Structure 1
Amino acid sequence: MWQRFTLYDLRVVGHYLGVLVSFSSLALLVPFLTALVFQEWTPAGHYLLTIGVSLIAGTALRFLHIDPGRLNRQQAIVVTGLSWIVLAVLASLPLYLSGHFATYTDALFDGVSGITTTGASIIQDLDHLSYADNMWRFMLHLIGGLGLIVVALSFGLFGRGAGASLYVSEGRSEHVVPNVVQTAQFIAKIAVGVIILATAALTLLCIFIGMEPARAFLQGLWLSITAFLTGGFAPMSQSILYYHSVPIEFLLMILMLGGSINFVLFAEVWKGRLDAFFRDIEIRTMILWLSIMTLVFTASLIGSAEFSSLPVLLRRGLFTIIASFSTTGLLNITTNQLTTVFTSGSFLVVALLMAVGGSAGSTTGGIKFSRVGIILKSLVSTVKEALAPDSARVVVSYFHVGHRILSPELVKEAMTVFVLYIVTYLVGALVGIAHGYEATQAIFESVAMASNGGLSSSIASAGMPLTLEAFYIFQMWAGRLEFVTLIALIVEVVVSLNPRRWGRRS
């Protein structure tokens, strides 16, 4: 039963939150060193200031409780929910100081978008952003894509006792290996390994199209991070269209596909269990879903004059489909083409692809293939029960790293999160419509924010109403936490409002 937070609980939460805030200063060293290398002295000062703020705030929070002990699930949920807010606020400080945002709220929008790997951006004059500030944008993707807790666990910050509770509270429940810390390290190693290899390949491709080596390396690194971690930020304002390179687009599609697959399945492939990979409910659901959506998308788009050519349809259309379902949000077309050239049917397909997203345990957002697959299995179970004799006991199984039985609890969890996503999409659409925007665009934008999809119909832009901007920030945060942690955090705040009922832990 949910219990009221005590003063002791608040001190424990503060301590662990302080650990994460202090740890964020290590990530800030990357753009700081980048600024020093490229002699960008003003950005260097901004990051030095932010590092100081992070260290002071983190140290102060850590001293709230010296010996926190083992975290319970209630405390872990609060730590996780608050950490995404606090770190986004700190992360937005150097972005605002860069001078590329009209207000701090605009910088906060990009900070939340970066750390939740949404990828929507309202930055101004991106093409002239400093190397250091651009590096920070993609570091946010790196931290947020892997997960704040996973990154911290991979460095062994919390130990085994607290780590298990925090790992689950961030929406992860599957272990590659029994030990939570080793699981986090495995996820980090896979991501870093892929990014290193992809950076090397993309650097060569960027040099081939005429970039100088240093700039080509940075572009290759940033593109690798944003594609594999399904972030969506691009180094240039034209997104991937800037490069005009089929090989670069092809490699990015492979990275986005890889980033949309459950890390647990990477472990199965690593062990040589390819049959387990292709029998998995997520992979089969993905193949079925993408096959249907690709057919509908193609049939809808082929009537457009700009996409009537087969080579253009394959290049632009396939990239858009992969960027949408992986919730990456990169584009090799212009935003204007997305909203004007695309037919209403293809526009809706892109929104549906973002709404569902990729696999659970991956870096994607959205409802996830695992939940869709479980709901479909539940429908099969319902039909079987209706057709079976009264005395028969219907058992439905599915395959996910071994055979599993479909339980009512599992179906309930999948349906709960599914409904929460749908409600959030609809509420966000109504908020957009209430601000005077056209319904189709408002629906598209709401789905993009709550699914962390990142593609924009141009509603999310500098100068949008502050209330709409605040709601989009909330949607990105809620979608990244997949609602369960968010709702638990809200309940915790509500039930703890009465200070007279606070008590010290016995």
Structure 2
Amino acid sequence: MNYSMVLYILGYILQFESAFLMLPALVSLIYQEEAGIPFVITAAICLVLGIVFTHKKPSSSTVYTREGFVTVALSWIVMSIFGAIPFVWNGDIPYYVDALFETVSGFTTTGSSILSDVESLSHASLFWRSFSHWIGGMGVFVFIMSILPLMGGSTINLMKAESPGPSVSRLVPHIKDTAKILYGIYLAITLLEIVILCALGMPLFESLLTSFGTTGTGGFGFRNDSFASFSPAIQNTVTTFMILSGINYTFYFCILSRRIKDAFRIEEVRWYLFLIFASVGMITYNIRPLYANTRDALRNAFFQVGAIITTTGYSTADFDMWPALSQTILVTLMFVGACAGSTGGGMKVSRLVILFKTIRKELSLIIHPREIRKIRMDGHVVEHSTLRSTNVFLVIYFILLMLSTLIISLDEFDFTTNFTAVVSCLNNIGPGLNRVGPAQNFSIFSPLSKVVLIFDMLAGRLELFPLMILFMPSTWRKK
């Protein structure tokens, strides 16, 4: 283990977090609030520690897979620990465990909250909650790699550890250029949504918060009813950008490269869009009696399907009151998630496509034992390492799901509440059902349960492996 390199990168992470923390301080200055002072103090602490960690460059700057996974996991933990401090110091969230839950929920783009009255928060805290979505959406390492050449070609191991999906590849030969392209697309989508929302009459501050949460597929609302009180035009705009943000960014790269046919050959994107439209059709039919007309039912169905499958978590309706069929479809979509290579969470459409193709292959081999069949995605053979990784991911996923549900059941809430709370956090969704539904929050849980759910949020955002590796003794050996 190259400890000096891990600390060196953590130093850069703290310096960037210091710069990020100054933005809510600036917002506080604009709105003439004192709530921004704790952000300045925390930023100063991060800056000092960051300088200490980076004052001497390590003799060996190579980052192997082990160092990459450990560094990414520790970086997200460190960012969350320091990012929670201003909430406590300015009094918006008095208890640190609650503040940590809210911060981790922000960085992991989960959107689950312990707050019952978000409208009472200061502008600085509201901005920091939503901006943390934007930081965590594409990933802080992708951002850093687009700016700083930290350690040459081995940065791919950092991107592999942080980027969602069963496999990670370069869009262009150099990883730094790939990072720039990804963040360029990410920024363009964000700015476009801000402009459209402002044009539709939403104030600039609210447009910023909405766009941070939408493109980062986060879901922190700044109104107690989330998006229920906004106009249909604004709701439809947010729906569109949620769905766009759940698409594999390779699709956009192909479009920009004028390879339109290649873009629409991406199998995962086709399945993703099919699942959305099929789910919307079934839910619209199911909830039609609850609304005055089909148009309202369709609009709410599209919004909630988009919010759940992309793991954004915004809401225009209390779907906890919808019929059982609609709730079941939404819970199923919580597991599915968005596309790999997007900002969305969940198991990812590509993993499920690979899983079903594997099942089909195994069933075929029972009938034709001598048959040689390769599993393909987008015309390319899926590597055995990817298949193995996908299978191991699913096993760890369901073990963690069961253990977490078991532990938080100590709080004696009903099974639906406990189960959907874990599913929501592990898949970075936001709301669940019953006592953690879209009209409720997670404040009901004990500190122990909140810590478990914090772990689930981090594990879900980092695709399980980076966080699990921290618990292996062999990870910390020098060789």
Relative to the length of structure 2, the TM-score reads 0.92
What is the identity, as a one-letter code, of the residue corresponding to 2:225?
Q
Structure 1 residues 386 and 28: alpha-carbon distance in aligned structure 2, compared to 1, 3 A threshold: same
Between the aligned partners of 2:292 and 2:385, the Cα distance in structure 1 is 47
Between the aligned partners of 1:427 and 1:308, the Cα distance in structure 2 is 43
Per the alignment, residue 372 of structure 2 pairs with 393
1:284 to 251, 262, 270: 270
Per the alignment, residue 421 of structure 2 pairs with 445
Per the alignment, residue 183 of structure 2 pairs with 188
Deviation string for 1:62-121 (max 9, x for gaps)? 247544422222112111110000000111111222322231111110100000000111
**1:218 is the counterpart of 2:201:** no
Per the alignment, residue 249 of structure 1 pairs with 235
Shift in Å, 1:189: 0.8
**1:487 is the counterpart of 2:468:** yes
Q: Is the 8 A contact 1:14 1:64 kept in 2?
A: no
Deviation string for 1:163-222 (max 9, x for gaps)? 222112214512221211111111111111111121111012135xxxxxxxx0111111
Per the alignment, residue 11 of structure 2 pairs with 18
Per the alignment, residue 34 of structure 1 pairs with 27
Deviates more, 1:279-288 or 1:25-34: 279-288
**1:360 is the counterpart of 2:340:** yes
Deviates more, 1:51-60 or 1:407-416: 407-416
Between the aligned partners of 1:187 and 1:407, the Cα distance in structure 2 is 24
Between the aligned partners of 1:140 and 1:398, the Cα distance in structure 2 is 33
Between the aligned partners of 2:94 and 2:329, the Cα distance in structure 1 is 33
**1:328 is the counterpart of 2:345:** no
Between the aligned partners of 2:190 and 2:35, the Cα distance in structure 1 is 25
Between the aligned partners of 1:147 and 1:462, the Cα distance in structure 2 is 27
Structure 1 residues 446 and 496: alpha-carbon distance in aligned structure 2, compared to 1, 3 A threshold: closer
2:196 to 177, 201, 206: 201
Aligned positions, number: 471
**1:232 is the counterpart of 2:219:** yes
Per the alignment, residue 61 of structure 2 pairs with 69
What is the identity, as a one-letter code, of the residue corresponding to 1:234?
G
Deviation string for 1:351-386 (max 9, x for gaps)? 111111000010001100111111122223224434
What is the identity, as a one-letter code, of the residue corresponding to 1:367?
M
Q: Is the 8 A contact 2:182 2:249 kept in 1?
A: yes
Between the aligned partners of 1:166 and 1:24, the Cα distance in structure 2 is 18
Structure 1 residues 19 and 157: alpha-carbon distance in aligned structure 2, compared to 1, 3 A threshold: farther
1:45 to 37, 49, 61: 37
1:311 to 295, 300, 319: 295
Deviation string for 1:440-465 (max 9, x for gaps)? 22221111100001123344533521
Between the aligned partners of 2:31 and 2:213, the Cα distance in structure 1 is 22
What is the identity, as a one-letter code, of the residue corresponding to 1:306?
L
Between the aligned partners of 2:319 and 2:316, the Cα distance in structure 1 is 10
Q: How does 1:333-344 map to 2 (within 5 A)?
A: 333=317, 337-339=318-320, 341-344=321-324
Aligned residues: CA RMSD:
2.1
2:470 match: secondary structure: helix
Q: Which runs of 5+ in 2 are unaligned?
A: none
Between the aligned partners of 2:149 and 2:41, the Cα distance in structure 1 is 24
Structure 1 residues 296 and 422: alpha-carbon distance in aligned structure 2, compared to 1, 3 A threshold: farther
Shift in Å, 1:238: 1.4
Shift in Å, 1:295: 4.8
**1:413 is the counterpart of 2:413:** no
Between the aligned partners of 1:290 and 1:223, the Cα distance in structure 2 is 21
Deviates more, 1:154-163 or 1:86-95: 154-163
Between the aligned partners of 1:69 and 1:315, the Cα distance in structure 2 is 52
Per the alignment, residue 142 of structure 1 pairs with 134
Per the alignment, residue 477 of structure 1 pairs with 458
Per the alignment, residue 434 of structure 1 pairs with 410
Q: Is the 8 A contact 2:134 2:215 kept in 1?
A: no
Shift in Å, 1:226: 0.8
Per the alignment, residue 111 of structure 1 pairs with 103
Q: Is the 8 A contact 1:12 1:68 kept in 2?
A: yes
Between the aligned partners of 2:223 and 2:216, the Cα distance in structure 1 is 18
What is the identity, as a one-letter code, of the residue corresponding to 1:430?
L
- Kindly name which structure, 1 or 2, has the bigger radius of gyration based on alpha carbons: 1
Deviates more, 1:468-477 or 1:12-21: 12-21
Shift in Å, 1:292: 4.6
1:363 match: secondary structure: coil
Between the aligned partners of 1:70 and 1:225, the Cα distance in structure 2 is 33
Between the aligned partners of 1:67 and 1:346, the Cα distance in structure 2 is 57
Q: Is the 8 A contact 2:374 2:382 kept in 1?
A: yes
Q: How does 1:117-136 map to 2 (within 5 A)?
A: 117-136=109-128
Deviates more, 1:144-153 or 1:379-388: 379-388
Between the aligned partners of 1:157 and 1:130, the Cα distance in structure 2 is 37
**1:346 is the counterpart of 2:326:** yes
What is the identity, as a one-letter code, of the residue corresponding to 1:142?
W
What is the identity, as a one-letter code, of the residue corresponding to 1:236?
R
